[in-house]
Amino acid sequence: MFELETAANPETLRRVAIDPVTRVEGHGKVTLLLDENNKIHQVRLHIVEFRGFEVFIEGRPYWEVPVAVQRLCGICPVSHQLAAVKAMDQIAGYGPITPTAEKLRRLMHYGQIVQSHAVHFFHLASPDLLLGFDSDFTRRNIVGVALDFPEIAKQGVLIRKYGQEIIRHVSGKRVHGTGAIPGGMNKALSRAERDEMAKDIDQIITWTQGAVALVRRLHETNPGFYNRFGEFDSNMMGLVAPDGALDLYHGALRAVDAEGKTIFDQVDYSTYQSVLQEDIKPWSYMKFPHIKSLGADKGWYKVGPLARIQSASYLNTPLAEAERQIMLALGNGRPVHGTLVFHWARLIEILHAAEVIRDLLNDPELLGTNLMAERGERRHEAVGVIEAPRGTLFHHYRVNDDDLVTYCNLIVSTTNNNQAMNEAIRTVAKQYLDGQEITEGLLNHIECAIRAYDPCLSCATHALGQMPLEVSLVDAGGVVIDKVTKDSAGLRHQPTGELIVL
């Protein structure tokens, strides 16, 4: 069992809730249980929503899946589209996709890395870093940043816009376009579209370099705080190319331990179930995966920017690799595990993605018109994996002879980070809140630890939940339109103690 996961005697403790967790994507809340001396006994991040995608996607035709599953998440729809289509390429019997199709998919994916990381850093997280963790909460948002730091806000907005425009050029829409289809892509890129994107890329690279420098300076101003906040050891996992370089579109799985030593490497991702296992806990709709060989207590891991740029051997673009080396120097040869270093790693990845985009835009093959692969034998089962902005994303499907999906299993990026996020908030609770009078600013420290992971809680809530009590839903005219009944065990009880409403 994990420290601070379950209090011995919850009924005697006071409950404090952060509900909802804000400036993150999706629905979550944190509960703390404290005794009369404000000593903390339990800290949990609950994922409180359910969606049911894995179940209702069954029975749908396979070609519909890539566009349907993007509706899991409006921040990283491209990741879901591409992970699904990588599985469906194989199901539909296509061989390797054409070089042009792969480059278009990469362009769209790296465009999404830029937009998603930008929205996370500038629109959601920067208010804490620029205005202060315990600054006035009514101003602690992108509007406050726009008023106090107009130039940074403007660059953030324009970096995100650039990523969104790349997605639109390739897939037709900024959010929930099409683009990738089983076997390739549905539209070639015109020279005019390419030139439109190429004209701003140097500016974007300059701005993203500026953003990396901004975070580096923040760490320099207060290294003790930035490097130690929510610091804890864990394993890390990500996709790497055959030579160990980070590859966000395609590769094999590598996991390293807290010291950076290899746990497994070059694992074919279609065998993910042989290395990973998911556990269920009664207090969250999100499951808890771990590395099978190490067991639940020792096998949990981190994914996402901080984990993958440290588990990969190098970044294959020069500016980002130089910045990565500066970040790694923090650890003196050991991987760095500070929760706030996630922001630094994320911005290094934006720079990396911008460099990759520049190289793709300079590649004549990008404008090719050979978009569809040769078709061979149909398959009944396939796995598609991609490094989404938030980490490794698994899509696994079975499809029958009538082209209908019969099985779907998703491990979304944020689910991989479930235990790590709980560990982060427990560490911060011990560092800053234990024994203190709980204030809004202190509670925001907990949220800052969650935000550093850039969790996507709507992705993570694909599973369905339970309905243990009776609740009637009455419409505006007083008519009962839904009724939920109590479960047979009747175990539901009220949360203990007082609820602090912020």
Partner 1 sequence: MNAPEQVRKLRIATTSLSGCFGCHMSLLDIDERLIELAHLVEFDRSPITDIKHCGHCDVALIEGGVCNAENVHVLRELRANSKVLVALGACAINGGLPAQRNNLDVRRCLTQVYRAEGSGEVQVPNDPELPLLLEKVYPINEIVRVDYFVPGCPPSGDTIWKFLTDLLTGRTPRIEHPMLKFD
Residues 124-183 that bind ligand SF4 (CB under 6 A): 175-176
Contacts of 490 (CB under 8 A, 6+ apart): 468
Pick from 254, 235, 236, 257: nearest CA to 245 = 254
Chain residues 72-131 in contact with ligand SF4, contact rule CB under 6 A: 74
C-beta neighbour count of 265 within 10 angstroms: 13
Q: How far is CA 286 from CA 255, 280, 369, 460, 487, in A?
A: 22, 8, 42, 6, 21
260 lines the binding site for ligand SF4 (CB under 6 A): no
Please, which residue, 31 or 311, has the CB nearer to partner 1? 31
Q: How far is CA 228 from CA 31, 37, 134, 260, 341, in A?
A: 23, 25, 18, 18, 9
DSSP lists the bridge partners of residue 386 as 393
The span from the CA of 478 to the CA of 186, in Å, is 49
The span from the CA of 103 to the CA of 101, in Å, is 5
The span from the CA of 124 to the CA of 173, in Å, is 23
Chain residues 284-323 in contact with ligand SF4, contact rule CB under 6 A: none
Q: State in angstroms the smallest separation of the CB of 251 from partner 1.
A: 25
Please, which residue, 74 or 331, has the CB nearer to ligand SF4? 74
Please, which residue, 131 or 215, has the CB nearer to partner 1? 131
Please, which residue, 176 or 219, has the CB nearer to ligand SF4? 176
Pairing of strands 180-181, 235-240: unpaired
- The entry of partner 1, ligand SF4, none that residue 161 binds, CB within 5 to 8 Å by partner kind: partner 1
The span from the CA of 459 to the CA of 27, in Å, is 10
Give the CB-nearest residue to ligand SF4.
71
- The entry of partner 1, ligand SF4, none that residue 68 binds, CB within 5 to 8 Å by partner kind: partner 1
Q: Amino acid letter at 93? A: G
Please, which residue, 23 or 290, has the CB nearer to ligand SF4? 23
Number of chain positions touching ligand SF4 (CB under 6 A): 4
Please, which residue, 310 or 458, has the CB nearer to ligand SF4? 458
The span from the CA of 289 to the CA of 394, in Å, is 12
- The entry of ligand SF4, partner 1, none that residue 72 binds, CB within 5 to 8 Å by partner kind: partner 1
Q: State in angstroms the smallest separation of the CB of 69 from ligand SF4.
A: 11
Q: State in angstroms the smallest separation of the CB of 261 from partner 1.
A: 27
- The entry of partner 1, ligand SF4, none that residue 502 binds, CB within 5 to 8 Å by partner kind: partner 1
Task: Cite the beta strand spans of 225-368 per DSSP E.
Answer: 235-240, 252-256, 262-267, 276-279, 288-291, 301-302
Contacts of 432 (CB under 8 A, 6+ apart): 442, 445
Q: State in angstroms the smallest separation of the CB of 175 from ligand SF4.
A: 6
In which element (H, E) is residue 390 found?
none
- The entry of partner 1, ligand SF4, none that residue 484 binds, CB within 5 to 8 Å by partner kind: partner 1
Contacts of 72 (CB under 8 A, 6+ apart): 51, 53, 80, 410, 412, 458, 459, 462
Q: State in angstroms the smallest separation of the CB of 176 from ligand SF4.
A: 6
Q: Three-class SS of residue 208?
A: helix
Please, which residue, 120 or 176, has the CB nearer to ligand SF4? 176
Q: State in angstroms the smallest separation of the CB of 466 from partner 1.
A: 4
Please, which residue, 228 or 281, has the CB nearer to partner 1? 281
Q: State in angstroms the smallest separation of the CB of 344 from partner 1.
A: 23
Please, which residue, 70 or 126, has the CB nearer to ligand SF4? 70
Contacts of 245 (CB under 8 A, 6+ apart): 312, 313, 314, 315, 316
Q: State in angstroms the smallest separation of the CB of 73 from ligand SF4.
A: 8
> 81 φ, ψ to 5°?
-60, -45
The span from the CA of 262 to the CA of 291, in Å, is 13
- The entry of partner 1, ligand SF4, none that residue 22 binds, CB within 5 to 8 Å by partner kind: partner 1
Please, which residue, 49 or 434, has the CB nearer to partner 1? 49
Q: Amino acid letter at 37? A: N
Please, which residue, 52 or 96, has the CB nearer to partner 1? 52
- The entry of partner 1, ligand SF4, none that residue 469 binds, CB within 5 to 8 Å by partner kind: partner 1
Which residue in 15, 29, 60, 71 binds ligand SF4 (CB under 6 A)? Answer: 71
Token reading at 397 = 């499907």
Q: State in angstroms the smallest separation of the CB of 157 from partner 1.
A: 6
Q: State in angstroms the smallest separation of the CB of 406 from partner 1.
A: 12
Q: Using the Cα atoms of residue 341, residue 347, residue 352 and residue 356 in order, give the sign of their dihedral.
A: positive
Q: State in angstroms the smallest separation of the CB of 487 from partner 1.
A: 7
| Residues contributing to the site for ligand SF4 (CB under 6 A) | 71, 74, 175-176
